[in-house]
Structure formats: C-alpha cells, structure tokens
C-alpha cells in the first residue's frame, strides 16, 4: 500500500520518486476545471499526458541519450524544412 506523504517527503533519490514527480508535474499542468468536468481533451488527453510523462522520465533517467536524440530530431526537422523549401 502506498503511504500518503507530504509533497516535500517524496524521495527524489529513487527512480520511483523521480517518476512520481514527473507525473505530478504533468498532471498539475492540466486545467482544474477540465478535471472537475472530466474533460480531458480540452487541454490534454491521457495519451498526451503519458507522452509528457515519458518525455520527462527520459530527461531524468536518460539525460545523455535524450540530449543526443533531441539534437538528431532538430537536425531532421531542419533538413526537412530545407527540402520542402527547395521543392516548393
């Protein structure tokens, strides 16, 4: 069973604690009125929340690989923009 803890008592030295903080940061960025009305599509869908949590988890647990992947994606987007510009 999960113990109820205060926010400042979360152990950020464990993988679980880090992932919990990532999930909390994503979930708390959702508009509270949408949560009360059970409207997820207004600001964020469950899939988008999951993607954001996984993005944060990758930043936390795989910082080096994440940085390399982000650089690769930026280069790919730049290349695609240049190709599109040339073709148009």
* Burial letters 53-79, b for 16+ CB under 10 A, else e: beebbeeeeeeeebeeeeeeeeeeeee
Q: Is residue 32 part of a domain?
A: yes
d(CA 3, CA 1): 6
Q: Is residue 53 part of a domain?
A: yes
Band of pLDDT at residue 34, cut at 50, 70 and 90: low
Q: Which domain holds residue 62?
A: 15-87
Does 10 reside within a domain? no
Residue 50: per-residue pLDDT: 72
Question: Rounded mean pLDDT of 27-49?
Answer: 65
Confidence of residue 24 (pLDDT cuts 50, 70, 90): confident
Pairwise CA distance, residues 34 & 39, whole Å = 5
pLDDT at 2: 47
In this model, does residue 4 exceed pLDDT 80? Answer: no
Residue 5 lies in a domain: no
Our count of domains for the chain comes to 1
Identify whether 41 is part of a domain. Answer: yes
pLDDT at 71: 92
Question: Could you report the per-residue pLDDT of 57-87, keeping only the tens digit for each?
Answer: 888 888 888 889 889 999 999 999 999 999 9
């Amino acid at each position: 069973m999960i113990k109820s803890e205060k926010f400042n008592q979360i152990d950020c030295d464990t993988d679980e604690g880090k992932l919990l903080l990532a999930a909390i940061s994503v979930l708390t960025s959702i508009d509270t009125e949408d949560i009360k009305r059970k409207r997820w599509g207004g600001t964020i869908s469950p899939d988008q929340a999951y993607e954001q949590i996984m993005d944060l988890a990758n930043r936390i647990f795989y910082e080096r690989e994440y940085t390399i992947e982000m650089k690769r994606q930026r280069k790919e987007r730049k290349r695609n923009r240049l190709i599109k510009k040339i073709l148009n």
